A and B are shown apart, each in its own frame.
Chain A
């Protein structure tokens, strides 16, 4: 591996294993995972239910810690970080998009987007301006004052994408983002994320078994029983 490769790599997963404790019974969710993700990549992790996709994304996203092995983000080993530092990494470098959207129900669409900017200490005026611009860019300008329960799933997911990228993250992790959407809406969402990948250079890693997602990905990894059984360019 040459120096160039090192510089272009954002995620490195080294020999990661994860054992859950299910009421005293160890569950081997991941073992021997080795993986690097290049900057500006647009990859999908596919695999049957229970194969460990969510577990892997959570570990890469610093939400969970591996039982064995190491994860490097931008060359830094996350095992060395404190909880507070991990929160800061998530705030500044990583955006999450969940299958269930997970917007804050008491906040409007704009406020949900502003929320993560607020956590970074961006002043109110600038938050609003950037939030509105982002919503305009993503074609959800009309949702500004809507609360999550007043929006469709597709609308909520687009707001969730806006929230995920509001702090200019390096990496967006999306766990089955289209699973609750119809295919037309899913296609629009994918257009959006492709555009962000192209224009803003954001790295995307999906987990999905949605053929639409798999088709558009630049790289397809297949996970089975906690192991990567296939990894190829699409």
Chain B
């Protein structure tokens, strides 16, 4: 009967209940969509980083990650090669030799990271081949180079043009190769684009007189869930002269950034939550104070304070549940709407590019975060009714009855 009374009181002032429910719905939708899209954006940033260059797992000579110079490259890659070939049912891999150097045209030059790759193998690990905007991906072991549109622009170089690539060798002399631009790529990450060029591994070896040297083995597990398992296995197999790193080890700044972002989000939710809470407190207080006379009568007929208290909380709980249900419904429909097409942020694409997320954000449905909200929001609504309920039970029965 208490719930019947609570329900009828909700229906009694439809406008106010509607305002309360609407503000909860807005809070729920805002929180859920922000959550879905920010998780989506973060995951995209991470997978873009992983798939564009880093791969899920890398193996280096110990110390390379901290100081990625030529001197720190592996001198006997064969051990690792054999080990990875033995694992080929569970992973794909490729090797790279990379160094810092200069790429120049007649017009300008640019300091870059020169990445020597085995084109066919690299294709299985990273997506750089998908980002070729004009021309082609590297097609042979000839003197070819893949540069980004940003570098092309800086060098005033186009498809078919020759550029000179220079880097210092281990003995301190300078090696150089002239390569023809076969393709121009563009990833989601403009910072990355400005600093990376790709040429065949053999050409880098030739330029640096560094035959049979490898900076990094890049590994893609066939199943993404196996990353930590494979890392553990490889660490066991390889001695301490190697380092086996997962993307989390390689992109610590990035992982930290996501964590910082998460806590920023938490603060945002807290602010939304507190604003919502005060809205609820205020509106519930109005609803309760308007019924002062009724509470006085309830007290007179012997209704104990705890039941009056509970009746008010039940009312808030119903409102919270209705608001949460509608909010979740709207969120889910929007999720379905955006899940396949994504949210096109082309209008902000420049700023997003430097962020490395891509221009279309796909929402991610995180069950645990939804469930948390489903639990918390009705409870928060109830919490918002506590103060009004306290005010109601503190009323003096006689004065309450005198109130109109």
Contacts and interface: CB of A to CB of B under 8 A. Distances in A.
B303 A104 contact: no
A116 B301 contact: yes
B178 interface: no
Contacts of B397: 63-64
User: Which of A111, A114, A119: most chain B CB closer than 10 A?
Assistant: A119
B308 to A, nearest CB: 10
B290 to A, nearest CB: 12
B398 A87 contact: no
Interface stretch (A69-77, A91-99, A189-197, A215-223): A91-99
Given A104-B294, A107-B8, A115 B301 contact: yes
Contacts, number: 69
Given A91-B304, A104-B298, 12 more contacts: A64-B398, A84-B304, A88-B304, A91-B301, A94-B302, A98-B300, A106-B9, A107-B5, A119-B303, A119-B304, A163-B301, A167-B302
B401 A88 contact: no
B319 to A, nearest CB: 16
Interface in A52-82: 58, 61, 63-64
Nearest to B307: A119
Contacts of B396: 64
A149 to B, nearest CB: 11
Contacts of B299: 63, 87, 90
A118 interface: yes
B109 interface: no
Interface of A is mostly: helix
Nearest to A92: B302
A48 B396 CA distance: 25
Q: Is the interface of B mostly helix, strand, loop or mixed?
A: helix
Contacts of A230: none
A102 interface: yes
Nearest to A59: B398
Contacts of B304: 84, 87-88, 91, 119
A83 interface: yes
21 contacts: A58-B398, A63-B300, A63-B397, A63-B401, A64-B397, A83-B305, A84-B304, A88-B304, A90-B301, A91-B303, A92-B302, A96-B301, A98-B297, A102-B297, A102-B300, A104-B5, A104-B297, A114-B1, A118-B1, A124-B1, A163-B301
Nearest to A166: B301
List 5 A-B pairs, minimum CB-CB distance, nearest first. Answer: A91-B302, A90-B302, A106-B8, A102-B297, A63-B397
B291 to A, nearest CB: 9
Contact of A106 (B5, B298, B307): B5
B225 interface: no
Interface in A94-132: 94-96, 98, 102, 104-107, 111, 114-116, 118-119, 124
B401 A98 contact: yes
B193 to A, nearest CB: 66
B401 A106 contact: no
Contacts of A118: 1
Given A98-B401, A102-B401, A119 B8 contact: no
Interface centre among A91, A106, A163 (most CB of B within 10 A): A106
B12 interface: yes
A107 B11 CA distance: 12
B331 to A, nearest CB: 32
Contacts of B303: 87, 91, 119
Kindly name the residue among A63, A91, A95, A124 whose own CB sees the greatest number of chain B CB atoms within 10 A.
A63
A90 B296 CA distance: 13
Contacts of A105: 12, 294
Given A63-B397, A102-B297, A119-B307, A87 B302 contact: yes
Contacts of B294: 104-105
Interface string A162-182: 010001000000000000000
A115 B299 CA distance: 12
Contacts of A115: 1, 301
Nearest to B6: A106
A58 B306 CA distance: 22
A61 B107 CA distance: 101
